[in-house]
Structure 1
Amino acid sequence: MVGEILLNLQDVAELEDKSWEAINKSVRRGKINAIKIETNARCGFEYRVNLDELSDKAKAKYFARLKGNEQLAIPDIIDDNEVYNLEDLTAEQRDQAFYWEGVLKEYKSYIRDCFKNKTEKTEEFVNVFNAKNKTNLTVRTLYDKQKMYKKYGAAALADGRKAREKRGHKIDERVWSIFLQWWLDENQRSVSYVYTVLSRYVSDHEELSMLKLPSEPTFRRAVEELPKPVIKFFREGNKAFEDDCLPYIIRTYENIYSNDFWSSDYHTLDMMVRDDITGEVYRPHIVGWIDIRSRKILSMRLRKESDSDGVVLSFRDAALKYGLPSKVYLDNGREFLTYAFGGRGKRKDGSASNYGTNILDRIGVEMVNAIVKNAKAKVVERIFKQVTSEFAKLFITYCGNRPGNRPERHNKVLKNVDNIPYASEIKEELLAYVEGWYNLKSSKAEGLKGKCPNECYSSLLVNKRKITDDQANILLTRNERKQSVDRNGVYVKVGTEKVWFYDAEFVALYQGQKVYARFDPDELTSIRVYDEHEKFLTVLDRAAEGGYEGVADTEAMKKVNSDKKKVKTIVKNFIENKEKIMEAPEMRDVVINIARQNIENDNSTYDADILEGMFINENIDYKKAVGDVEVNFSKMIENAKKQKEKDGN
């Protein structure tokens, strides 16, 4: 029986290795006997727990602290149902496990032919080991490690304290759910502001008021561990979520020929030009066609407006020079989906589907429409954006792609009409730039392998590169470089090619985090993924790849659409699960209620110790009421005196 030693709840929590909230809940439910002591706390009292109420482990830790002897501290109690696996450990923890396994093997070999008392032999081993390795190994530690090794294997020898510290934050799940419902909002409230309001709300809440709210940095660290897709969806909106977090179709180029696919697009040129005839100053549009396999620009026209005529004329220019493509890959804009050129595509309906034969049908060219809002798959958009930006910046009338990027001199330049080039000059120089600069510049784009577009186009590389035995021999069983989980998953490089692997749930929870990939070079159907500490996470299967035609493309689209739905469902369910724990009130209501309470409790007075009056200056000269004759008061007084003296006589 330990004497009367009373401890506060925080000390009890530390001794029992539990949270303050858990100890407080046990006390209030009567699981731990405690007494109330009057204090200056918010509720007027605090709980005190007798040391006798604590577990034997906690008591030992308490007396160990008093004596300053760390060896009396009892090691962590291990759950018999817990399964230990080396892959569940970080690389640092595995090194620790292997180290202790070596120590135990050395100890076993040392006492194998023991003629002395085993205890004496063990103490002798510890002394020899410490002298040789300059360590502080104790007999008790050695026995503890031996016991763990026999019961759970090598994985149990690792020190798990650091891992336990990183498993989570000591934030009550109800408080955390309210915080997330307020913070995960498109208004993008700051952590500091939400924490301030949350602190006041918790203190005024009957059920939560007894909780000890963690510090603001704790919430900041917890927020940093939220999945990137969750933050994108709830704080930046669905558009940002779909653009940055959902997978897109990975196009391959090795299995198509030059002239198999052409693509076209309109783009606004970031400069001002002058009409040759009317002198009108305007910002021109360019329309052109590229060969998707080689990314070669086949034709380009300068237009005052974006219309279907420019599409047809520029297509004709390319066809006359380079022949006809097998298929064209077009945007869903009104300029391309016209009845005359290629038909209405996906926009056609029952009343408009039976129109006459269009141009592409007559020449035997099939039209393929891009997926709406799938800019990643539209190669032509990226190429034209690059070309128009580089070319426009060569001229003094460059105006930027938006007002914020406009040069300061822009308006001054336009005041002098001689500074503005004619449209015909720009057309000629644009064609020279395309043919003599862009098409002849080497590129590292996928499939070009350092060649320029003209070289790739003429070489007609049509076969997808196969992995040879020599290439397979240079593959490692681990990708030596860390990579961030992309919205398309994780990749490994085979030669110069990226092979992608994907799982919707994994990407939803780990996107943006650093990982390693391990794989079998003879079997690239799946890979094993580890975090940056080399702790095993999951197995990913190879992602579906699509081209620009055929069954493979259709199946890839189906797979990507299915994965998009899975990712969005996982992200949406994230906040819904938090709401089930405890529904948060409207943050606006909480702030206004707090403000009104502050007004009611405001006892400020505005009485000053000294009151100062406002006095009128008596020396003010007033204007005469009537007349303009000046009154001589001195003479009047003198006459009055004379009159008084006269009356006295």
Structure 2
Amino acid sequence: MSVYITTSEAAYYEGISERGIRKRIEKGLYQSRVDVDGAVKRHLVLLDSLSEKARQEYFREQLAQKQLKEPVVSVATDEQDVLGKLVRKYGERGKELLEEVVFRESIAKMVISIRASKEKGKTARINELAKSIGLSPATIRRWADRYIEYGQDGLIHNKVLESLFTPKSYRSFHPLAQDYLRVVYLDPSKPTVEQAYEALLKIAKEKGWKVGSYHTAWRIIQDIPEEDLIYFREGRKAWEQLCMPRALREDPEYLNEVFEIDHTQMNFFINVGGKPVRPWLTYVVEVKSRCVVGWCISLQANAETIGLALRHAILPKPDSPIYGLPKYVIVDNGKDFRSRRIAGKNPKFGEELHAPHLLGLFGRLEIMPRHCRAYNGAGKGRVERSFRTTTEQFYRDYIGWCGANPKERPENLNEKKLCEEGKLVDFYQCVEDFKAFVDAYNREARDMFGGKSSLDVYMESKRWKEEVPSERLFDMWLLPGEARKVHNIGVRFQNRVYENVQALSGHVREEISILYDPNDLSQIYAYTMDGDYIGTLPLKEYRAYITEDEETFKHVAKQKARRTDVKKRMDEMVDRLKEEGVTKPRKMMASGDNGSKTKVVMMHRDERVAKDLEAARKANPVTKAKSLHDEYVQRRSEEALKKMKLS
């Protein structure tokens, strides 16, 4: 298909004036035609009649315009972004190579369109196209074939393509010398290129390796992937933070479905008893809304502070709409979160798996914990992000701020002097200030929620579970537990005896679970192994060895009451049987063959065993073997009798 352009365009590509183009048309140097549009007539010049330089300039400009309209797309190869890699590797030179690819693509499309047309003279037209751009017909046919098979990537020059995917070879360096240079440079001690090169020279002299110049060594090190540099020189933690692949997780469907809990030491000092101390903060963050639902400030983070922070998050609060049990909690692998008090303990042989004293706080609340991989802050990113925000917005405004590490510590900070001068706040003031900060933090507008605050999202979302335990029950579940056996005097625990006659009735000589407060051992709480609450057992008082009659009467009354409870349980069972028409069976009696009663003789076990042994001896008499002494006495006796007879 012939292409015609205007005289002004032809003048632009030829680099002469438009009048010069008209003169050449009059002389017959350019082929042209007249285009009539109403009363307007204009000359159009055949593109193929222009000079080779003008034709190439035309095609380059057309391809540049197509490049703006049609973005470069990569094809399905092992390298998903070959053209992008071309630009990244070669910079400005890469952009020129990319323009060359786009130019070849336009020519390949023209060849493909000519092949697909039904007009005659396809070969002649392809030859004309090749002649117009100064290339051979075989070249543009090859471009079309490679474009059909490989797309744009097939139009990259072979040498350029090889340079993208073929590792660089440094002929002046032995391959093992290159490896040794890289290994030395990637050492965690972070040697310089010069130090690594000097170490290579020493070992190369011993091994006979070929080693090039220092500048070549520098280029070898420059080719080390940045990911490798970070992992081996900066460490695994830096690599995990900057290079390790991350997963994207959807927010939970329901409110309170997932909590994240963690500790951190606050980056400022407070006055505690006249001494500067850095307090600890335990945070509970609701994942869906990013609300801080619970927290606890303490002087030492431990299992108790975890329980208190969770208590603050779950139980209703008079000045806040935040409450509710979580379904999951995400925690780290710290010993506090795996302690018996929080996670529970393994049962001993014969113990019930779900006995109350074996269950930790998570088990009693029916919360499923999920432990993150060790030293992986991204596993609980919501609470870690809250820690960072707290550092930026709360810690830095406090007198006594010391920073998270020695680099951030103010140069003129003297916490002891500030404490002596009374400038550091006390513990209770710190708690009040932090309470106001958390309230403002939850009400702060967030872009991720479209200008809504975390509290707004919390109020609009549906909880996964509305029920919460009572405050008294929750406080009991915070206590540690043990397994103990009920004796006739009560329950022994830590050299003390606890008893509640009515509550323990029916549980004597049974094993139960107890919960106790280490700070108040005046009473313990008893549960069955199935988790049913028995009652509170107060500390049993010791009676004087010689007591008054009144105290004795009271004790005897308790004994009678216990005996009455035992009989009452039997009577209740018999009454239930009578209601169903079942009578209590009589005493079991043995009868003879004639139906007469047989006398039953009761013997003690030892008597029965002795009688059985005597019967066995009579049935199988055993001759006792004589000893040597008996044989000697018998022989001498017989000899003496013989002498007496002879005499």
The TM-score range, normalised by the shorter chain, is 0.3 to 0.5
Report the TM-score when normalising by structure 2. Answer: 0.47
* Larger Cα-atom Rg: 2
